[in-house]
Amino acid sequence: MTVEITTLTENTVSAPEFIAEWGFSALVDVDGFKILLDAGPGQGILQNARLLKIDLKQIDCVMLSHGHYDHTGGLVKVLKKVNRPIDVIAHPDIWTEKYAKQTDGTFDYIGIPYQRDLLESLGARFRMSRQPFIIKENILTSGEVPMTTGFEKIDRNRFHVKEKGRMKPEGLADDLALIVETPKGLIVILGCGHRGVINSLHHAVNLTGRKKIRLVLGGCHLINASVPVVKKTIAALQEMKVQKIGVSHCTGMEASAMMACELGKKFFFNNAGTKLVLE
């Protein structure tokens, strides 16, 4: 089995010609089957794909890790590029009206910036599931991730949904991970990891029955985490004997620096333009 992962959108870049922007998107190629995980906010995905010599017309499906704009804003550009019907796999809560509370008490809309009808008119065939969704043999979504660690929490003060005209804190149940089972261990790719990177890894192990974790990649949402939470996260990664972790997007520089110091060669920054080949 050969797995190639190319990061198309991220806050930072591996070379100056790429576009950096707040968000995430990665192409995951498993023995020629191509999954686009998220589409970033939309400014850089086409240019970065062109620079990386990736033809987005060849993708087999799209998976959305959750319904925030910085992971879904590029969907229209991607669908127009694909120009044919294509499955888009996600949790049904991607359609909730998502908002972020600002320091002044106001709320900014941060959900999908498109109506479902528009996306479907461009070829999106939505496959919605709260449960793990088997994309292909050895490739699945996590489904809803249980909150089990005790130290990983949803930022309910910041993240809200609007229901019947009123704001309420959100649990981000739509936060999914992509799981690839390989002979050498699990590959777990996160969009943001709002439900917690360790919660997501425990869930992946429980779903598959496989304890060895070969690679964790993507956003770990530790950007506003306290030092004790970051330390507990690192300790859990070490306890689970994660072989490699490449952080992106909302992990945060302070948490990333702590992880780099503690995890050594197991750690790397995963930015736009990074390509990994695992055989």
pLDDT, tens only, 15-42: 999 999 999 999 999 999 999 999 999 9
* Chain segment 133-158, per-residue pLDDT in tens: 999 999 999 999 999 999 999 999 99
Average pLDDT (182-210) is 98
pLDDT class of 82 with cuts at 50, 70, 90: very high
Is the entire prediction scored with pTM above 0.95? yes
Looking at the structure of the chain, the number of domains it has is 1
Is residue 175 very low, low, confident or very high in pLDDT (cuts 50, 70, 90)?
very high
The residue segments making up the domain with residue 78 are 3-278
Write down the pLDDT at residue 8.
98
pLDDT single digits (tens) 123-137? 999 999 999 999 999
Q: Which residues pair with 13 in a beta bridge?
A: 272
CATH number at residue 50: 3.60.15.10
Query: What is the mean pLDDT of the segment spanning 164-185?
Result: 96
For residues 58 and 36, is the Cβ–Cβ distance under 8 A?
no
